[in-house]
Homo-oligomer: A and B are copies of this chain.
């Protein structure tokens, strides 16, 4: 996107977070971003209009879905308007001059530690310690000035906090992508956006608890040759062992077969909510933005 004036993007974590890199990849490097302490705060900031957009990690190609955000998408009145898949490159980050053999503690978020197990196991003198987020671990390292510790985070975080990358690309599997959704409030979302191909629609729905219900719900798409991309089930509050289904399928809600499929689904579902139709995201390599330090 070219024009980033008046766009303010809420992201979860500290400056240098992968979420911030995703926001800048999508909107352009100069876009204004506002850190949020957790996902609840992020969704509230967009819903209440403090931010125009939010960038929401929804799935990692190795770890699977981020289910908390499926629940937030169901509960809030937001529209999904875009998507991107950011390659996650992890780096071992230290205070300048600290050497590999000095490291006794490695700090990062649990999923990041899990994605670098082979590397951290090779540093047998070091223990891993969980933190709330990746860039936050780098910030803490900077503050403490510790000479016996490292953090695992993005190259952007190393740049932002003026620390050193001791080893780059330490993730076990380089096929490591996080898929992010771009959300905006229903009041801002354009009513009749252009259909950008390849399009994708996300919905959430629930069925009566009767035999064959899920099969019937999927048949409304199969009968119209609409390709399903992803299905997730989440528990329905107060109804043990009943589920809401989150479904992504190819096509735009303003295309006839998609609109018909949703109409058909409404006949047999107890509720259907359309989360948005948007262009399927590309896989992107995040670039470090060498911003001036006073711009953070």
Cβ of A77 < 8 Å from any Cβ of B?
A: no
A61 touching B219, Cβ below 8 Å? no
Chain B residue at minimum C-beta to C-beta distance from A250: B211
Across the interface, A237 reaches (CB within 8 A) one of B62, B233, B237, B241, namely B62
- With contact pairs A67-B64, A235-B62, A240-B61 given, residues A222 and B212 touching in the complex (Cβ less than 8 Å): yes
B227 touching A212, Cβ below 8 Å? yes
Cβ of A230 < 8 Å from any Cβ of B?
A: yes
A211 touching B235, Cβ below 8 Å? no
Q: How far is the CA of A240 from the CA of B227 in the complex (A)?
A: 17
- With contact pairs A67-B64, A218-B218, A232-B233 given, residues A211 and B238 touching in the complex (Cβ less than 8 Å): no
Sample (10) of A-B pairs whose CB atoms are under 8 Å apart: A61-B241, A63-B235, A64-B67, A64-B234, A173-B237, A175-B239, A214-B231, A215-B219, A215-B221, A230-B233
Chain B residues contacting A43 (CB-CB under 8 Å) are none
- Give chain B nearest CB distance to A37 CB in angstroms: 15
Total count of chain A residues near the partner, CB < 8 A? 38
Q: How far is the CA of A255 from the CA of B215 in the complex (A)?
A: 21
- Give chain B nearest CB distance to A260 CB in angstroms: 17
Across the interface, A235 reaches (CB within 8 A) one of B64, B229, B233, B241, namely B64
Which of chain A's residues 162-196 have a Cβ closer than 8 Å to chain B? 173, 175, 177, 179
- Give chain B nearest CB distance to A175 CB in angstroms: 6
Chain B residues contacting A63 (CB-CB under 8 Å) are 235
A240 touching B175, Cβ below 8 Å? yes
- Give chain B nearest CB distance to A84 CB in angstroms: 13
A227 touching B241, Cβ below 8 Å? no
